[in-house]
């Protein structure tokens, strides 16, 4: 009996070690890709690609008209709002309230710290790179800040992926975890695509926002797992009334 328990413990530890190894490799790859992309943008190597993609989303001969009927452009504005400050603040606040009602205080504080930290990082990155917005096409949404990285894309990744991870941790069923995380990824992608479609960001701005946001969300996920092991945050599947 003791031998069987020892074998299961060893197998569990090996699985945990493998999961952390995969996590660290993915995180390093994300940071490497972000660094390479930022370097290419600073050097101007992505200028032609950015221009070609942006113009491909416009009616030939009329850069002021996005491709597709008018309702698609209106839908683009609706989708881009999902990455705006008001929507993300509301979503984060509601989930934080949910954790509070479930007496998951540590998860609530962790969520607020993760999203708040992402906002600070996004602002610092914009000030550092100070890339001008696209002037090749008219803007379909009002913008005030610098272009790189896309704040909407980065904050959508930070907020929705962090929310998705923390909510998924509560769910005991794997299919619910997958559904929640897939929804978070889908929302993140839609926000980024809408920014390029509306002409307020270069495609590389959005890609950088996705990479930075996903990397930050991954760091927060790793921290949540580590804290859960030490009993400082509620463990997976724990959802007390």
Cβ-based neighbour number of residue 239 at 10 Å: 15
* pLDDT score of 12 more than 50: no
Choosing from 103, 139, 144, 152, the catalytic residue is: 152
Q: How many CA atoms lie within 13 A of 35 on its CB side?
A: 6
Contact in structure between 106 and 232 (CB atoms under 8 Å): yes
**CA–CA distance, 95 with 161 (Å, rounded to integer):** 13
pLDDT digits (tens, 9 = 90+) for 96-114: 898 888 888 877 888 888 8
Report CA 6 to chain centroid distance, whole Å: 39
Q: Is the dihedral of CA 199, 203, 204, 208 positive or negative?
A: positive
Q: Catalytic site residue 139? A: no
CA distances from 125 to 30, 40, 179, 228 (A): 16, 16, 31, 30
pLDDT digits (tens, 9 = 90+) for 142-168: 777 777 888 889 889 888 888 887 777
Pairwise pLDDT comparison (1 vs 229), residue with the higher score:
229
Q: Catalytic site residue 152? A: yes
* pLDDT score of 191 more than 90: yes
For position 10, what pLDDT does the model report?
Answer: 52
118 closest CA partner among 186, 218, 32, 222: 218
Choosing from 103, 139, 144, 201, the catalytic residue is: 201
For position 232, what pLDDT does the model report?
Answer: 59
């Amino acid at each position: 009996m003791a031998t069987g328990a020892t074998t299961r413990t060893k197998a569990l530890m090996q699985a945990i070690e493998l999961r952390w190894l995969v996590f660290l490799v993915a995180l390093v790859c994300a940071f490497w890709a972000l660094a390479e992309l930022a370097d290419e943008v600073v050097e101007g190597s992505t200028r032609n690609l950015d221009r070609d993609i942006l113009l491909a989303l416009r009616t030939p001969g009329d850069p002021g008209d996005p491709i597709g009927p008018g309702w698609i452009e209106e839908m683009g504005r609706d989708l881009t709002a999902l990455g705006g400050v008001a929507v993300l603040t509301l979503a984060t606040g509601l989930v934080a309230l949910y954790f509070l009602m479930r007496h998951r205080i540590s998860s609530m504080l962790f969520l607020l710290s993760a999203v708040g930290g992402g906002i600070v990082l996004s602002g610092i990155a914009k000030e550092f790179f100070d890339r001008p917005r696209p002037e090749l096409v008219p803007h379909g949404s009002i913008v005030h800040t610098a272009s790189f990285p896309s704040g909407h894309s980065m904050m959508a990744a930070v907020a929705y992926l962090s929310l998705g991870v923390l909510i998924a941790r509560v769910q005991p069923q794997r299919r619910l975890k997958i559904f929640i995380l897939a929804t978070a990824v889908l929302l993140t992608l839609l926000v980024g695509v809408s920014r390029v479609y509306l002409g307020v960001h270069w495609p590389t701005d959005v890609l950088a926002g996705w990479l930075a946001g996903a990397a930050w969300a991954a760091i927060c996920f790793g921290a949540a797992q580590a804290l859960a092991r030490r009993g400082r945050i509620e463990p997976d599947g724990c959802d007390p009334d």
